[in-house]
Amino acid sequence: MIHPVILCGGSGTRLWPLSRKDFPKQFTRLLGEDSLFQACAQRFRGAGFAPPLVLSNADFRFMALEQLGDLGIEQATVMLEPSARNTAPAVLAAALQLEAQGAGDELMLVAPSDHVIRDVPAFLAAIAAGEAAAQGGALVTFGIRPDRAETGYGYLELADAAACAAAAAAPVTRFVEKPDATTAEAMLAEGRFLWNAGIFLFRVADIIAAFETHAPDMLAPCRAAVAEAKPDLGFLRLDADAWDSVPEDSLDYAIMEKAAEVAAVPLECGWSDLGAWDAVWREMTPDEAGVSTSGSVTQIDCTDTLLRSEEDGPRLVGVNLKGIAAIAMRDAVLVADMTDLQAVKAAVTQMKAEGVREAETLPRTYRPWGWYETLALADRFQVKQIMVPPGKKLSLQSHVHRSEHWIVVKGTATVTVDEDVKLVTENQSVYIPLGAVHRLENPGKVNLHLIEVQTGAYLGEDDIIRYEDIYNRA
């Protein structure tokens, strides 16, 4: 039995403006109907795989659970990291949890949730090819056969070109950091280097033993974080005090580059980590002029260009563009040279330093009960659109600084205002006075949409006093 461990805590800032801190790329539908996270979970639904163990940031817990539920995956364990500590502590926590479940002699497969794998049968065949080595005690990683001199990936060096061409596990000679262009060209020509995909397969007991040898300072606090983990609405929340004392490091640096018995399985499966917009451009299959488009887009005489207008974005028109990535959303537009897309992360960092809201926050804010987005905001008033799926409800709450007016535009709402509970249907409205204890819920079969008009001296999201909340938010 192989236990999939899915890592989904990253932020994906190089794919700004679509991917942001409050809704990162793994949960977006970048390519196709499923999100990247859903596509990852789908790959491990066959025979021989246990239900997945998902490592998530607490902020994304309801996104992860809802997207798994949409796939009918009900038995997953979602473990919540109180803070981001990189991949080594996440993998160790997963291994310790599996050990506690009695799976110490079984295999765990660690996979990032934000990668694309086009040829799933080839990927599963590579996993099968690595099983024997992992059962024998090796720490197995997977390397992508390169088709270009890529400077955005780390590399794995094998003994010779024959090992890179084989479909079997082979010893890793060394790990190579992201190279410059000249070094990447030379490594591609040598034929004995693979891209480091960041996917791992090993026995639970073996990776724990590797931490005991190479990163012992992680072990005690991580054990404490797992031992003191608390169930919370179907999630497993790691102990925050213990977790915050775990040293931060990647699995490659902490373990893989130090361990003696490390093997790699060469892999050719249509893989991409979608690390920047040029990778998305390639995955969208450019036309004969090298142009990839999505959404409300018009292009004339463009070459080697990506044009995307995301949901609710404006009409995007490209004329005579060469080597440009342009991504338009309702609140932000990125225009960048295709040869310098790694600099998008630096632009996000600069916007954060300047206090620009769009650096990390989408216009649409997702909550466990649905979502809202601001349509207008000025001094002393704000207008929002709110969507609540069937069966969901907001917390029982009040506000100190604002009153609200709700107008139902689609569906039916059950509205509580102090002691009064009533149904509000389409084209009806209800007033929530300042200080009133109130709640909104959707008792129907269709999504509830309403317009909320707030008025008051202060309109921040922190002006909420919660009296009851089915999602256990503070």
Query: Can you give the CATH number for the domain in which 232 is found?
Result: 3.90.550.10
Q: For residue 45, is it within any domain?
A: yes
The pLDDT of residue 378 is 93
pLDDT tens string 18-53: 999 888 999 999 998 899 999 999 999 988 999 999
Q: Over pLDDT 70: what percentage of the chain?
A: 100
- Between CA 155 and CA 196 the distance in angstroms is 5
Q: How many CA atoms lie within 13 A of 444 on its CB side?
A: 19
Q: For residue 215, is it within any domain?
A: yes
- What band does 307 get if pLDDT is binned at 50, 70 and 90? very high
The pLDDT of residue 87 is 95
Domain shared by 318 and 434, yes or no: no
- Does 268 score more than 80 pLDDT? yes
- Does 92 score more than 80 pLDDT? yes
Domain shared by 188 and 319, yes or no: no
Domain shared by 222 and 165, yes or no: yes
- What band does 312 get if pLDDT is binned at 50, 70 and 90? confident
Q: For residue 429, is it within any domain?
A: yes
Domain shared by 404 and 344, yes or no: no
**What is the average per-residue pLDDT within 390-415?**
97
What letter would DSSP give residue 342? G
What CATH number has the domain bearing residue 445? 2.60.120.10
Q: For residue 368, is it within any domain?
A: yes
Q: For residue 268, is it within any domain?
A: yes
Domain shared by 174 and 248, yes or no: yes
Domain shared by 148 and 64, yes or no: yes
What letter would DSSP give residue 158? -
Domain shared by 310 and 243, yes or no: no
- Does 233 score more than 80 pLDDT? yes
Burial-class residue 299 by CB neighbours within 10 Å (0-12, 13-18, 19+): buried
Q: Which residues of 389-408 are buried (b: 16+ CB within 10 A; e: fewer)?
A: eeebbbbbbbbeebebebeb
Domain total for the chain? 3
Angle in degrees, CA 173, 206, 246, rounded to 5: 95
Q: Over pLDDT 90: what percentage of the chain?
A: 86
Going by C-alpha positions, the residue among 267, 259, 322 that lies closest to residue 289 is: 322
Q: For residue 280, is it within any domain?
A: no
CB 296, CB 309: distance < 8 Å: yes
- Does 3 score more than 90 pLDDT? yes
The pLDDT of residue 472 is 83
pLDDT tens string 158-186: 989 999 988 899 999 999 999 999 999 99
- Does 474 score more than 80 pLDDT? no
Per DSSP, which regions of 268-393 are E strands?
Answer: 271-272, 291-295, 297-300, 305-309, 316-319, 324-328, 333-337, 364-367, 370-378, 381-388
**What is the average per-residue pLDDT within 2-21?**
90
Q: For residue 208, is it within any domain?
A: yes
- Does 100 score more than 90 pLDDT? yes
Angle in degrees, CA 370, 371, 376, rounded to 5: 155
Domain shared by 28 and 110, yes or no: yes
- Between CA 192 and CA 208 the distance in angstroms is 30
| 433 three-state secondary structure | coil
Structure tokens at 212: 């005991």
Domain shared by 336 and 187, yes or no: no
pTM reported for the whole predicted model: 0.89
The pLDDT of residue 11 is 74
pLDDT tens string 421-470: 999 999 999 999 999 999 999 999 999 999 999 999 999 999 999 999 99
- What band does 299 get if pLDDT is binned at 50, 70 and 90? very high
The pLDDT of residue 71 is 93
Residue that terminates a domain, selected from 215, 248, 272: 272
- Does 10 score more than 80 pLDDT? no
Q: For residue 278, is it within any domain?
A: no
Beta bridge partners of 20: 23
CB 385, CB 372: distance < 8 Å: yes
**Average pLDDT across the chain, whole number:** 94
57-61, 126-130, 152-156, 352-356 — which is least confidently predicted? 57-61
Per DSSP, which regions of 28-117 are E strands?
Answer: 53-57, 77-81, 107-112, 116-117
Residue whose pair of structure tokens reads 């044009």 in the numeric block: 307
Residue that terminates a domain, selected from 336, 354, 372: 354
The pLDDT of residue 38 is 97
**Residues spanned by the domain of 460:** 364-468
Domain shared by 348 and 368, yes or no: no
Q: Which residues of 273-292 are buried (b: 16+ CB within 10 A; e: fewer)?
A: bbbbbbbbbbbbebeeebbb
Domain shared by 46 and 91, yes or no: yes
Residue that terminates a domain, selected from 333, 354, 375: 354
- Does 95 score more than 80 pLDDT? yes
Edge-to-edge order in the sheet of strand 381-388: 364-367, 370-378, 381-388, 448-456, 402-410, 429-432
Angle in degrees, CA 31, 282, 141, rounded to 5: 80
Domain shared by 101 and 247, yes or no: yes
**What is the average per-residue pLDDT within 378-387?**
96
- Between CA 105 and CA 110 the distance in angstroms is 16
